[in-house]
Amino acid sequence: MEVLGYEVESWGVGEIWLDEDRVVNHELPRAGALERQREHEVIERIRAYFAGATVAFDDVELDLDWATPFQAKVAAALRAIPYGEMVTYGELAALAGHPNAQRAAGTFCAHNRFPLFVPCHRVVAADGLGSYGSLGLSYKRRLLELEGAL
């Protein structure tokens, strides 16, 4: 397992955990500075995303061995939401084949270990943006603005 730090201008420092080329965990950038970083194809794509390029991550291999069948379906449904588009938690549950499981879909999003690769920021509440964990609503809004969704 390898942990790689990366820095994105005006966003901060993030980390990605890799098992060879399989993503095990990912932390979005936060304020800070990084002394050294190693280049990797996935990190270059992350930087391009934060620079405003339309980047898809649906081909990045993720470690979802821990996921229940329901969680795997939610992850697949999230990965299919196109860049710049949003769905509600109810729509996400329906896309995952469980139309009455919006709360469970929201719980999955709240514990998402792959924020860009399984883009929970594209899921909003029926009456507003909803929340975005420890990074907060302003970070979610900033990601959606970056994608032109707001």
141 in the same domain as 77: yes
pLDDT of residue 132: 83
Active site residues: 120
Is 25 in the same domain as 73? no
Position 128 scores a pLDDT of: 85
For residue 143, the one-letter residue type is L
pTM of the model: 0.87
Residue-wise pLDDT for 108-127, tens only, equals 999 999 999 999 999 999 88
Q: How many structural domains comprise the chain?
A: 2
CATH of the domain at 105: 1.10.10.10
Is residue 46 domain-shared with residue 76, that is, in the same domain? no
Does residue 55 fall inside a structural domain?
no
pLDDT of residue 25: 93
The domain in which residue 108 lies consists of 69-146
- Is residue 38 domain-shared with residue 89, that is, in the same domain? no
Secondary structure (DSSP) of 70-93: HHHHHHHHHHTSPTT--EEHHHHH
8 A C-beta contact, residue 71 and residue 120: no
Q: List, for the chain, all residue ranges whose pLDDT scores fall below the cut of 70.
A: 35-36
Give yes or no: residues 73 and 116 share one domain. Answer: yes
Whether residue 121 contacts residue 114, with contact meaning beta carbons closer than 8 Å, is answered with: no
Please count the other Cβ atoms lying within 10 Å of the Cβ belonging to residue 106.
20
Residue 64 resides in a domain = no
Tell which phi-psi region holds residue 43, choosing left (phi > 0), alpha (psi between -120 and 50) or beta. alpha
Q: How far apart are the first and last CA of the chain?
A: 37
